Amino acid sequence: MKFFVDTADVPAIAELHALGMVDGVTTNPSLILKSGRDILEVTREICALVPGPVSAEVVATEADAMIAEGRKLAAIAENITVKVPLTWDGLKACKVLSGEGRMVNVTLCFSANQAILAAKAGATFISPFVGRLDDINMDGMELISDIRTIYDNYGYSTQILAASIRTANHITQCALIGADVVTAPPAVIKAMISHPLTDKGLEQFMKDWAKTGQKIL
């Protein structure tokens, strides 16, 4: 499973990238706002740092304007993935931009039917939002599972990019289901390492080592 980082925070991306944890990056208008950076400038910086796909989202709502924005964003770097919302205009833009050989991420997916439409429109990635479904008392992980089954039934090549990931357990569940990619905030990726028995075991080893009076270096 590929790991994308869901942030426009360049130092945070760089830290995980140095560990080989970053296969790509996803951003959205809210994350650009949070970064306090100019979209073109920060996206260029991220693309130079990470060789994998970097999603940059259009903000127009009408297809022709989305296509124009998508072309401008795609001109930033080879590894740009144009992100469009799951609306009819977004699907029109997806069809045109993917037809031009550009990577397209169709975002704000909340149903299996929407995911089918995105695959038919030539999406490179579909982004089902797990956490936001959980927030309204629905089962976000069930959506990932349904899309996996449907895409496998028909051999759709669109990759499932599980988004709106809020917990380390979401990542485990996505991996078990077989999501192609998971995009998560840096803090959630870092939380994957936590285990109380690791902390307890290390503490005991350190205590016992101190009692030996030895040194390795």
Residues lying near ligand E4P in the complex (CB under 6 A): 6, 26, 28, 107, 127, 129, 131-132, 163-164, 183
Catalytic positions are 83
Q: Which is nearer to ligand E4P, 103 or 201 (CB)?
A: 103
Q: Which is nearer to ligand E4P, 129 or 156 (CB)?
A: 129
Q: Which is nearer to ligand E4P, 96 or 126 (CB)?
A: 126
Shortest separation between residue 125's beta carbon and ligand E4P, angstroms? 9
Shortest separation between residue 34's beta carbon and ligand E4P, angstroms? 10
Q: Which residues pair with 183 in a beta bridge?
A: 4
Contacts of 172 (CB under 8 A, 6+ apart): none
Shortest separation between residue 65's beta carbon and ligand E4P, angstroms? 21
CA distances from 14 to 5, 64, 80, 158, 175 (A): 10, 35, 17, 28, 24
> Cα(149)–Cα(56) distance, rounded to whole angstroms?
28
> Cα(176)–Cα(73) distance, rounded to whole angstroms?
34
Residue located via tokens 């590929």:
2
Cβ-count burial of 86 within 10 angstroms (0-12 exposed, 13-18 middle, 19+ buried)? buried
CA nearest neighbour of 6 among 46, 36, 44: 46
Q: Which is nearer to ligand E4P, 51 or 131 (CB)?
A: 131
Shortest separation between residue 64's beta carbon and ligand E4P, angstroms? 24
